[in-house]
Amino acid sequence: MAAAKPTAELLSTLQKFASCDIGDALVKLKYPFGGFLDGLSMFSPQHCSGDKKIFGEVITVKMVDAADKTAPSLPKHFCDYNEPGKIMYISQPLDKYSACWGGLMTTRAKFLGAAGTVVDGRFRDILEHREMDYPIFARGSSILGSGGFTRASEVNVPVKFKDDLYVNPGDYIVADADGVVVVPPSLVAQVVEFCVDRKRIDDLTFEALRNGEPIGEAIQRLRQK
């Protein structure tokens, strides 16, 4: 049975926290790799800077090698599966040096109201995304399109990031200048509880440091209880 969808109030609170806060919570909860999608970073609207953050439910896309004739095919272009407020997460075969997302796709996704795109792989047309102020998080860039290299095979299926860390349809992604983290719906309430408590402690720790307390003592007194 699928986990119940978190309440709007919980999601609104989760959205306020940074990827680092959420990753710390998931480590405490022993979620694989703290939900950290390492190697993926912000390329648009800026490169790993600024206060732009995206948050939303995930739509997954599984790319396969274009030569693979055995994998399923989609009835329409994968970009047309974008939905308002959601984040498309694309899993590209890691041995490919081509892009699987470009300016035309951002134009369509923006029209459909997507919150942003996360690519476990490569994208291209960086200036076009930035001109549209559209968030792109990816492993890297390429000058080559997907033709002859990859094709979209399935949408809204679990996709493997590494080892036992998967990105599933209906998960939540928080992505900002620090990186990308994925949160399963079943852990949202516990993550929020941890983040709220940790923020209170962090505020006290910052205050202690600004008043001159040595950092080791402040951490020992406030964070290691």
Task: Look up residue 25 and give its two tokens.
Answer: 């919570």
Task: Look up residue 80 and give its two tokens.
Answer: 């047309």
Q: Is the Cβ–Cβ distance between 42 and 135 less than 8 Å?
A: yes
> What pLDDT score does 128 carry?
98
> What pLDDT score does 222 carry?
84
Residue that has been written with the tokens 């989760």 in this structure: 14
How far apart, in whole angstroms, are the C-alpha atoms of residue 87 and residue 197? 28
Instruction: Report yes or no on 16 lying in a domain.
Output: no
Helices (H), the chain: 8-14, 19-28, 103-111, 126-131, 188-210, 215-222
Instruction: Report yes or no on 191 lying in a domain.
Output: no
Instruction: Report yes or no on 102 lying in a domain.
Output: yes
Task: Look up residue 56 and give its two tokens.
Answer: 């939303």
Instruction: Report yes or no on 211 lying in a domain.
Output: no
Instruction: Report yes or no on 4 lying in a domain.
Output: no
List of the chain residues with pLDDT < 70: 1-3, 224-225
Q: 35 vs 19, 32, 152, 213, 221, CA distance in Å?
A: 10, 6, 24, 33, 28
Instruction: Report yes or no on 152 lying in a domain.
Output: yes
Instruction: Report yes or no on 178 lying in a domain.
Output: yes
Residues 156-168 have pLDDT tens digits of: 999 999 999 999 9
> What pLDDT score does 4 carry?
78
End-to-end, the C-alpha distance of the chain in Å comes to: 37
Instruction: Report yes or no on 36 lying in a domain.
Output: yes
Among candidates 50, 40, 55, 36, which has minimal Cα distance to 138?
A: 40
- Tally the domains of the chain: 1
- Strand partners of residue 60: 89
Task: Look up residue 79 and give its two tokens.
Answer: 């970009």
Range of the domain at 112: 32-183
> What pLDDT score does 225 carry?
57
180 phi, psi to nearest 5 deg: -125, 135
CATH classification of the domain holding 106: 3.50.30.40
> What pLDDT score does 58 carry?
98
8-state DSSP, 7: P
> What pLDDT score does 1 carry?
46
Spell out where the chain has E strands. 41-44, 54-65, 87-91, 116-123, 136-141, 150-155, 159-162, 165-167, 172-176, 179-183
Cis peptide before 45 (omega within 30 of 0): yes
For 86-103, letters b (16+ CB in 10 Å) and e give bbbbbbbbeebebbbbbb
How far apart, in whole angstroms, are the C-alpha atoms of residue 94 and residue 112? 28
